[in-house]
């Protein structure tokens, strides 16, 4: 039997997911291009960062930390209180793309993840425009 390597393992496990989340929120908080995205988040980003870390851990094939703590992600439902359109989607995806590049993920990994991130972020849209 062949063992399948998960995305979680390919990117470097817990440490790499943590670095990705840290960089994502650092960029969101400091890059003017992401100001509308930043405005949708609480002043203290630590809770958001921790939830993204827990979610990505399981989503990438590692420990299912988010489900263990909060139950099914229900991503669309959890994001309904926020007005998410094309601009917000595109800012989130651009911020994540930059974060992946900044932490040194390979182009192949970034390309595959970016496609998945885009489709997931697009599914969160709940307003026109």
User: What are 2-56's pLDDT values in tens digits?
Assistant: 577 999 999 999 999 999 999 999 999 999 999 999 999 999 999 999 999 999 9
Q: How confident is the model at residue 1 (pLDDT cuts 50, 70, 90)?
A: low
pTM as predicted: 0.93
d(CA 27, CA 123): 23
Report the distance separating Cα 34 and Cα 99, nearest Å. Answer: 12
Hey, where are the domains in the chain?
11-123
Contacts of 121 (CB under 8 A, 6+ apart): 89, 92, 93
Torsion from C-alpha of 4, 5, 6, 10, nearest 10 degrees: -170
Does position 129 have pLDDT exceeding 80, yes or no? Answer: no
Q: What is the CATH number of domain 11-123?
A: 1.10.490.10
pLDDT of residue 10: 95
């Amino acid at each position: 039997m062949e063992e399948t390597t998960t995305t979680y393992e390919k990117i470097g496990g817990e440490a790499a997911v943590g670095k990705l989340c840290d960089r994502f929120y650092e960029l969101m908080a400091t890059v003017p291009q992401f100001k509308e995205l930043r405005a949708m988040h609480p002043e203290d980003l630590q809770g958001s960062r921790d939830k993204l870390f827990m979610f990505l851990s399981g989503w990438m094939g590692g420990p299912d930390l988010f489900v263990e703590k909060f139950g099914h992600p229900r991503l669309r439902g959890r994001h309904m209180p926020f007005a998410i359109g094309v601009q917000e989607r595109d800012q989130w995806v651009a911020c994540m793309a930059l974060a992946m590049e900044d932490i040194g993920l390979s182009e192949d990994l970034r390309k595959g993840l970016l496609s998945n991130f885009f489709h997931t972020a697009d599914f969160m849209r709940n307003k026109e425009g």
